[in-house]
Amino acid sequence: MLIYYITDRTQFAGSEAERRSQLLRTIRSAAAAGVDYIQLREKDLRIRELELLAREVLHLIREEGRSRLLINHRTDVALAVGADGVHLTGTDIFASDARALAAKGCSAPQFLIVVSCHSAQQVRLAEAHGADFAVLAPIFEKANVVKNGIGLEELRRAARKDENPDLRIEAGDTRRTFPVFALGGVYLERAPLCAATGAAGIAGIRLFQQSLDLPALVRSLRPL
């Protein structure tokens, strides 16, 4: 089970300085615990502020472990700071366009492009445009949010749990499965349900930011 932490410093208490400090502590702990992906999703920051924070976060992550940093929405910032990739929202450019920008920016070929999706159909579109994986949400209803979850069956369809893999024409190789991460109302007790649908990983904000023991949380999720 892959693990994907999405940041939101506004969920922490205190002044802006205190929230930023808590965010950096949580990111450090997540990286040290072995979280696979960390998405910097501080949507209210101006571009320059986001770039400065991203550089600090990237340095911290490189010190602590092997987590990969994704920047929310801003492909330009991700390329400028040398992040591992970008997380595109539903209103952003297509993954294929982001890939073209990365190529022009002389980015390393492993630059990751992740897309937020809200249905299995959107997941297939993201795959067709060359995304590396998708984050599907909301799987479950979220606390304090009046929005129904799309459910485990939609997650199963997106992950193609019950489909046989197609065969590649080229080299007769087997096509890799397109990874789908489950997001939205996913807490530890629900993680096995998501894993059973074929989801490649679990994504969350509160799941990680409200954890009292991130290393223990990661150890619990990893074997799923």
141: left (phi over 0), alpha (psi -120 to 50) or beta: beta
In our burial notation (b when 16+ CB lie closer than 10 A, e otherwise), range 37-62 reads bbbbbbeebeeeebbebbeebbebbe
**Domain holding 62: CATH number?**
3.20.20.70
What confidence tier does 172 reach under pLDDT thresholds 50, 70, 90?
Answer: very low
What is the extent of the structural domain holding 211?
A: 2-221
Q: What percent of the chain has pLDDT over 90?
A: 82
Average pLDDT for 63-89: 95
Q: Which residue has the higher pLDDT, 143 or 169?
A: 143
Say whether 108 sits in a helix, a strand or coil.
Answer: coil
pLDDT attached to residue 65: 83
How many residues belong to the chain?
A: 224
For the segment 90-119, what is each residue's pLDDT rounded down to a tens digit? 889 999 999 999 988 665 568 999 999 999
Residue 114 sits at the vertex; the CA angle it makes with 163 and 132, to the nearest 5 degrees, is 50
pLDDT attached to residue 177: 82
What confidence tier does 146 reach under pLDDT thresholds 50, 70, 90?
Answer: low
pTM of the predicted model as reported, rounded to 2 decimal places: 0.91
Count of structural domains, the chain: 1
